[in-house]
Amino acid sequence: MSSFDDKYWNLSQVAAWVVYRDQQLIEILVEPSREAFAALERYPNMALPPGTEKIGSIIDLSNALIDGRVVAWGYRTEGTDTLEKISSREWTDLDIAPPYVYDAKCRSQLKQPWTHVRLEKAKVVCVWRSIHEVSGRTKFDKSKLLPMYQAIRSENPKFSQNELIIEFQGRFRDTYNKEPPSRITVQRYIKSWT
C-alpha cells in the first residue's frame, strides 16, 4: 500500500503536499528528517521530482491550523505519552519547521512543545486539492495566471489594484483570445497570491 493512502501524514508529508502537491514526495518523506524537507527548498533541482513546482507555502499550512480548517495531533514533550489534539489557539505561538514544531517565543533554543505531529490525510487533501483536480474543475487555472500577474505588477509598480486588474483582464483577453476572469475572481486570485 502506498503511503499516500495512509490515514495520517506526518508534518513533513503535509508540508510537502501543501507546498508542492506531489504524490512522490509523500512517499519520500515517510521517515521525516529536517534535512530531507529542507533539501526540497535548498536544492530543488536535485531533491524534487522532475516537473515539480512550488505552489503553496508553509504559511498556508500555519494559517489553516490557526483557522481550524485542519487539525493536528501530537505528543506533548512535557506531559503524558498520550496523542492529543493540538488546539488551533496554540498554532499562533508555534513555528512549523518540518518535521518539527517550535515554540515561536523560544525558537533560538529550538524548544519543541509537540513531537510526532500528524494530520488526517483526508482533511489535508480536501483543503489543498491536487493540481489536476483543481485545474479540471475550474474555468481558470490560477497557477498559470500568476506569472502574468507578476509580470504586469513588475512592469507597472505604481498601478493601483484596480488598474492592475484592468490591465490583467486586458492582457488575458489578448493572450488567450477569450473572456477574462471577472473582477471579483481576479481580486480573489490576487489575495491568494500576496
- Residue span of the structural domain in which 18 resides: 1-136
Q: Where a domain ends, among 115, 136, 157?
A: 136
Phi and psi at 95, nearest 5°, equal -105, 135
pLDDT reading at 136 higher than 50: no
Report the first-to-last Cα separation within the chain, whole angstroms: 38
Number of domains within the chain: 2
Asked if 178 and 89 sit in the same domain, the reply is no
Residue 150's Cα: distance from chain center in Å? 19
Asked if 90 and 3 sit in the same domain, the reply is yes
Asked if 88 and 19 sit in the same domain, the reply is yes
Beta strands 114-120 and 8-10 are antiparallel
Asked if 80 and 105 sit in the same domain, the reply is yes
Beta strands 94-97 and 100-103 are antiparallel
- For the chain, how many residues are written? 194
Most confident of 28-32, 122-126, 181-185: 122-126
Q: How confident is the model at residue 1 (pLDDT cuts 50, 70, 90)?
A: low
Asked if 19 and 38 sit in the same domain, the reply is yes
pTM score of the predicted model: 0.67
Q: How far apart are CA 104 and CA 114, in angstroms?
A: 12
Partners of 22 in the β-ladder: none
Q: Which of 159, 162, 167 is nearest to 184 (CA)?
A: 162
Output the average pLDDT for the chain. 88
Place of cell 489578448: 174
Q: How far apart are CA 184 and CA 162, in angstroms?
A: 11
User: Are residues 117 and 71 in contact, defined by beta-carbon separation less than 8 angstroms?
Assistant: no
Q: What percent of the chain is predicted at pLDDT more than 90?
A: 53
